[in-house]
Chains A and B, each alone.
Chain A
Amino acid sequence: MFKNYLILAFRNVARQKALSFINISGLAVGLACCFLILMFVLHEFSYDNFHINGDRIYRVITEAPDGLSGIANTPYILAEKLPFDFPEFAQIVRVIKRETERIYTLQNNVWFDEKNVLVADADFFTMFSFPLLQGNAATALKEPHSVVVTSKLADKLFGSQEAVGKTINIKIGKDLYPLMITGIMPSMPGNTQFQTNMICSIDVSEESCRAIKFEFFGQAFDFLQEWGANMFNTFVLLKEGRTAAEIEQRFPEFTKRHIGDGNPVLYELQPLKAIHLHSSYLHGQDGGDIRKITLFSGIALLILLIGCINYIILATAHSTIRAKEIGVRKVIGANRLDLIIQSIGESVLIACLALPVALILVELILPVFNSFTLRSINMDLLHNWRITTGFLGITTLVGVISGSYVAFYIGRFNPVQVLYKQKSARTGKSLLRKGLIVTQVTVFIALIFCTLVIYRQLFYLDHKDLGYNKHNLLSIPMEGISVKNNYTTLKQALLSSPAIQQVSAGSGAPPFQIGMQSKITVEQFPDGLDMEWIAVDYDYIETMGITIKDGRGFSEQYGTDAKEAIIINEAAVAALKFTNPLGSTIYFGDQNRLVIGVIHDFHKGSLTDKIGPTVFIPSKELLMRLVVRPVAGKEQDAIAHIKRVWVQFFPDVNLDCRFVEDSLAELYQTQHSMASLMLVSTCIAVIVAVMGLFGLALFMAEQRTKEIGIRKVIGAPVSSLVLLIFKEFFLLVIFANCIAFPLAVYFINKWLNNFAYRVDTGWWMFLVTGLLALLLTLLVTGWQALRVAARNPVETLRYE
């Protein structure tokens, strides 16, 4: 029996070439998208799921009081204090990632750049399950100045020589740290957050922290003692039988005792396995995002849905032609089950034919996909049984689902009716098929619409006036004491070039990282308000191109500015409930200051964030970033000059000079990559859907060949014949528009609401999308109608 069906199915595929092509390619594209996403999802969910004690490992994070944001990092001192209060922790490990370090071996005195260096507590290799090729997991990081490197790095540094026992030098800031290699590990698997080639013992960080001298209003800031210095990831291993909840309950009491209750810090335990996908709300954390996964999966399923609907629409349309065969089968003894099996068998076969095509597509797309998602996923069908079974499962499921509907449709045929009425039922009549067409068109209209809106928002992000002049502005970090101490002379040297217009500095520059917050007190709020502050050089506001609304900027002409002046933004005016801000008194830091100016609000960072109340104080000590405004058109000269000056001043400090505009663009990288994803998937969805419509139109035109022939004979113009076919689709497309827009608006608003500053969905976008959909339909259906109408009616009418 099965062979019989198989033969028949194959012959049908071979005979109905256009139909089979549309079916197979549509399903193949849908399957390929699903496969990609399946692999991606499996990969994302596999992050750090291989640690033996994984279920008992948590990361301590700092949650903001609003619960919507937080910090992935915790201070060094936390791990020092935790063991006294929490005996239920079996192990505590701090990890800190140091980027762009340089290392060298003493032997040949060659420098290697090594990104991603980890520094970790001694228990790292016993808490996490990263096996060592050489060395002892328990002791590898115990001794000060020890380091474990990957075999890959060891090869790079020492070639075939034995690496264990050798010393390498690593440079942090200005200082060199000699480290002894105590162990070799294999390369880190792709699915762990700890992507690194070397893990150093914790004392490296301790020493480098002590080396940084940082003063905060006259007080030395000790990174190792300060509870506000959130720099480390703190991982804890719970003893058997302990729960995170019982521990979290006791955190408030702990923080109250150590930090005081002025500024309550909310510590929480985040499960290790949740870190990769559920940390997007945390500062200082990159990784996956569960929302992205949902989005990717949703779109992939939509494309697969369109492919399936294509199949169903075409198969049911085709079944009216195959009605005779089905009637005959019933007459010669087929029962319902036989027919159901046959039709499911056929669709499974089509799906199976689509499978290799889909696999080839996946193989082709995977490299692009990987570079796009920054992952290293490979399709290892032979070894990864999850992927293999997943693929086969999806394929079969798609076949069965598509076939079931067709079977249900066919099962209702009355054999007598179909065998005696030569003309089978018209295709356009089926309500369900109409429903499916509407679904399909709805999906593609919604996708087009969302893509349009996303691109419009991106354009807005890139072009909105930010309140300062972001064009042609350079920003340079001034790390290390030597740079800061030489700021004034450096500024003079830079300004000596005719290519440089202005030079200034502040405690930050756009895009600002985490801002500095301090308590300020005013008359209206005697208890004080937490407010962000920016320490700036006198000409910072002017150099940035920030506009002054009221009063004046800082000026050296007023000798009192340094100690007594403060400038606030409009948001601060509102927050402080000032009616007449100029001349008001604000208590900040250690003294009263007078508001001398109000500036217009400007965007410190991404447009996802609302502009917060901010105050400016003049300072020469807290400057962390240099801002340089080159003369327009002379940017390259300016950069060359900066490089020359920098090397003269600080031969051993790396210069990291960037255009603010570039850094801003980086902020929206995820949005841009999401937009590209939407664009690509929309194109795919539209192509697949249009192919389906094309098939259906082809079909309807074929079926109505005779009718069209007759109409032509009695003198109907070709345009009216095109209209005849188009009419059938026109209403469906209009209807689909009506469903698509509310849906699309709902979803896109969810996305737009991520931005404090956003575009609105204008009516013209509905119009453009709707017209586009209609145009596509007209093209596709009209072409088929034209083809049939162009035929010689004598020929089409002869057979009957």
Chain B
Amino acid sequence: MIKLVDVEKYYANKFIKTWVLRNINLTIHEGDFVSIMGPSGAGKSTLLHIIGMLDDMSGGEYYFMDEPVHKLNEKKRTAFHQQYIGFVFQAYHLIDELTVYENLETPLLYKKVKTAERKSMIADMLDRFNIVAKKDLFPNQLSGGQQQLVAVARALIINPKIILADEPTGNLNSKQGLEIMEMLKQLNKEGTTIIQVTHDENKAAFGNRIIHLADGYVEKEEQHG
């Protein structure tokens, strides 16, 4: 489903190039649950952004469902991103001025989903995540775990092929973190491909593959189950 060939990323200023990613060769299949680990500054988030088409790469090839992403223009990429990819952040990043319901609604609005369909999709999602009672609250009225739950729900509502999660449990206590991980595991079982970044061995173990990044290189890869 995802194929990275010799992907590299650097930031260049007048004098020096700072390499962030080098020689990344990676294939991710549909249904995978991949954990990316590595020390701070290794380039984990950068890799995730490239996969999520939020960031450009400096070199290499990237095929998403056999489409050469590195050759697409911005408009096409946005469309791709909108269609297939859900993103979850460590800092939740819900829109503060919108209620839970409206936060869930926004991605559907951008996808121009019809009103009736939209309503039922949101209702489903609220149900599934058990947050019906919270639908009219604003993010700052929720706990961190609840906010992250909403963020996952928001990522999921467009029915993405893949969910990219950058330290989704980083800001949560261990109980809340575990709940989110269970949630992701469940989604994976239902067929969604997941790539997460984590610092926590235990949480990495939820995935079936663990990729270790160091200094921009893929250091090693472990297979689970």
B54, A333: Cβ atoms closer than 8 Å: no
- Flag if B95 contacts A328 (CB, 8 Å): yes
Chain B residues near A333 (CB-CB < 8 A)? 78, 81-82, 107, 110-111, 158
- Of all chain B residues, the one with the shortest Cβ separation from A420 is B45
* B94 at interface, CB cutoff 8 A: yes
* Chain B residues positioned under 8 Å from A329 (CB to CB): 95, 106, 110
Q: Which residues of B contact A327 (CB under 8 A)?
A: 93
CB of B201 within 8 A of chain A? no
Is B97 within 8 A of A12, CB to CB? Answer: yes
Q: Does B209 contact A (CB under 8 A)?
A: no
Residue in contact with B75 in the complex, picked from A332, A335, A419, CB distance below 8 Å: A335
B94-121 toward A: CB 8 Å interface, digit per residue (1/0)? Answer: 1111100010011101111000000000
Interchain CA distance A243-B107 in the complex, whole Å: 67
Is B89 part of the contact surface with A, judged by Cβ < 8 Å?
yes
In this assembly, does B62 line the interface, its C-beta being within 8 Å of a C-beta of chain A?
A: no
Q: Is A15 in the interface zone, CB < 8 Å from B? A: yes
A7-B98, A15-B97 known; A1+B54 contact, CB < 8 A:
no
Partner of A419, one of B93, B95, B106: B93
Chain A positions 411 through 441: 1 when the CB is less than 8 Å from some CB of chain B, otherwise 0:
0001110011000000000000000000000
A15 to B102, CA, bound (A): 18
Inter-chain CA distance A416–B95, complex, in Å, is 16
A325 to B102, CA, bound (A): 13
Query: With A and B bound together, what is the CA distance between A506 and B45 in angstroms?
Result: 97
Query: In whole angstroms, how far apart are the Cα atoms of A330 and B74 in the complex?
Result: 12
Among the interface residues A15, A329, A330, A335, which one has the most CB atoms of the partner chain B within 10 A? A335
- B74-95: contact bitstring with A at CB < 8 Å (1 yes, 0 no)? 0100110110000101010111
**Residues of A with C-beta under 8 A to B75:** 335
Indicate which residue in B54, B79, B105, B109 contacts A331 across the interface (CB closer than 8 Å). B54
In this assembly, does B212 line the interface, its C-beta being within 8 Å of a C-beta of chain A? no
A338 CA to B109 CA, complexed, in Å: 10
Which residue of chain A has the shortest Cβ distance to B89 in the bound complex?
A419
Q: Are B158 and A415 in contact (CB under 8 A)?
A: no
Q: Which residues from 38 to 66 on chain B have a C-beta closer than 8 Å to any C-beta of chain A?
A: 45, 49, 52, 54-55
Binary per-residue interface labels of chain A (670-692) against chain B in the complex, 1 for a CB within 8 Å, 0 otherwise: 00000000000000000000000
> In the complex where A1-B109, A4-B102, A325-B95 touch, is A331 in contact with B55 (Cβ < 8 A)?
no
CB-defined contacts of B154 to chain A, threshold 8 Å: 332
Contact in complex: A11, B107 (CB < 8 Å):
no
Docked Cα-Cα span, A460 to B73, in Å, equals: 68
A325 CB contacts on chain B under 8 angstroms:
95-97
Q: Does B106 lie within 8 Å of A4, measured CB to CB? A: yes
| Contacting pair B107 A332 (CB below 8 A) | yes
Report B37 CB to chain A, min CB distance, Å: 19
In the assembled complex, which residues on chain B have CB atoms less than 8 Å from the CB atom of A324?
A: 93
Contact partners of A334 in chain B: CB under 8 A: 110
A8 an interface residue at 8 Å Cβ cutoff? yes
Q: How far is the CA of A15 from the CA of B140 in the complex (A)?
A: 14
In the complex, A76→B87 CA distance in Å? Answer: 89
B54 near A416 with CB under 8 A, answer: yes
A8 touching B98 by the CB < 8 A rule? yes
Residues in A with CB closer than 8 Å to B89 are: 419
User: Least Cβ distance of B172 to chain A in Å?
Assistant: 18
A417 (CB) vs chain B CBs: closest residue: B55
Q: How far is the CB of B158 from chain A (nearest CB, A)?
A: 7
Among A8, A332, A415, A416, chain B packs the most CB atoms within 10 A around the CB of A332
Q: Mark A367-380, 1 if CB is under 8 A from B, else 0.
A: 00000000000000
Q: Are B93 and A331 touching (Cβ within 8 A)?
A: yes
Q: Which residues of chain A come closer than 8 Å to B79, judged between CB atoms?
A: 335
Q: How many A-B residue pairs have CB under 8 A?
A: 62
Q: Which residues on A sit within 8 Å (CB–CB) of B54?
A: 330-331, 415-416
Specify the chain A residue showing the minimal Cβ separation from B154.
A332
The dominant DSSP class at the A interface is helix
Taking CB as reference atom, which chain B residue is nearest A334? Answer: B110
Tell me the complex Cα distance, A325–B106, Å: 12
Q: How far is the CA of A550 from the CA of B158 in the complex (A)?
A: 102
Specify the chain A residue showing the minimal Cβ separation from B55.
A416
Cβ-closest chain A residue relative to B96: A325
B106, A416: Cβ atoms under 8 Å?
no
Q: A12-B97, A331-B87 are in contact. Are A4 and B105 (CB under 8 A)?
A: yes
Cβ contacts under 8 Å, A7 to chain B: 98, 102
Within 8 A of B (CB), among A1-59: 1, 4, 7-8, 11-12, 15
Chain B residues with CB under 8 Å of A414's CB are 55
- Whole-angstrom CA separation of A325 from B98 in the bound complex: 10
Task: Say how far A48's CB is from chain B's closest CB, in angstroms.
Answer: 55
Shortest Cβ distance from B158 into A: residue: A333
Pairwise interchain contact A328-B107, C-beta atoms closer than 8 A:
no
Q: How far is the CB of B151 from chain A (nearest CB, A)?
A: 10
| Chain B residues, Cβ within 8 Å of A335 | 75, 78-79, 82, 110
- Residues from chain A with a CB closer than 8 A to the CB of B107 are 332-333
B11 CB to nearest A CB, Å: 11
- Tell me the nearest residue of chain B to A419, going by C-beta: B93
Asked whether, in the complex, the Cβ of B93 is within 8 Å of the Cβ of A416, the reply is: no
Bound CA span A419–B102, Å: 20
Q: For window 134-190 of chain B, which residues contact chain A by CB distance below 8 Å? A: 154-155, 158
What is the CB-to-nearest-CB distance from B175 to chain A, in angstroms, rounded to a whole number? 25
Residue of A nearest to B52 (CB): A331
* CB within 8 Å of B: which A312-352 residues: 324-325, 327-335, 338
Cβ contacts under 8 Å, B112 to chain A: 1
Contact B110 A338 (CB under 8 A): yes
- Inter-chain CA distance A324–B92, complex, in Å, is 11
Chain A nearest CB: distance from B64 CB in Å? 16
Give the CA-CA distance A463 to B94 in the complex, in Å: 69
Complex: chain A residue closest to B75, CB-CB: A335
Nearest chain-B residue to A5 (Cβ)?
B109
Complex Cα–Cα for A420 and B46 (A): 11
Do B110 and A332 touch (CB < 8 A)? yes
Contact A332-B106, Cβ < 8 Å, known A324-B93, A325-B95 = yes
- Give chain A nearest CB distance to B105 CB in angstroms: 7
A338 vs B111: C-alpha distance when bound (angstroms): 11
CB neighbours (8 Å) of B91 from chain A are 419
> Which residues of chain A (764-796) have a CB below 8 Å from chain B?
none
Measured CA separation A7–B109 after assembly (Å) = 14
Give every chain A residue within 8 A of B93 (Cβ-Cβ).
324, 327-328, 331, 419
Chain B residue with the shortest CB-CB distance to A1:
B109
A11 touches B97 (CB 8 A): yes
Nearest CB of chain A from residue B156's CB, rounded to whole Å: 11
Return chain B residues, CB-CB under 8 Å to A1.
109-110, 112
Most buried by B among A327, A328, A333: A333
| Bound Cα distance from A270 to B98, whole angstroms | 64
Q: Closest CB-CB distance, A350 to chain B, in whole Å?
A: 15
Q: Which residue of A lies closest to B105 (CB)?
A: A4
A328 to B87, CA, bound (A): 10
Chain A residues in the interface with B (C-beta under 8 A):
1, 4, 7-8, 11-12, 15, 324-325, 327-335, 338, 414-416, 419-420
Beyond A4-B102, A416-B49, 12 additional contacts (C-beta under 8 Å) are: A4-B98, A7-B98, A7-B102, A325-B95, A325-B96, A328-B94, A328-B95, A332-B106, A332-B154, A332-B155, A335-B110, A419-B91
11 interchain pairs, CB-CB under 8 A: A1-B110, A1-B112, A4-B102, A4-B105, A325-B97, A328-B95, A331-B93, A332-B107, A332-B110, A332-B158, A419-B93
Q: Which 3 pairs across A and B sit closest by C-beta, in order of nearness? A: A333-B82, A333-B110, A332-B107
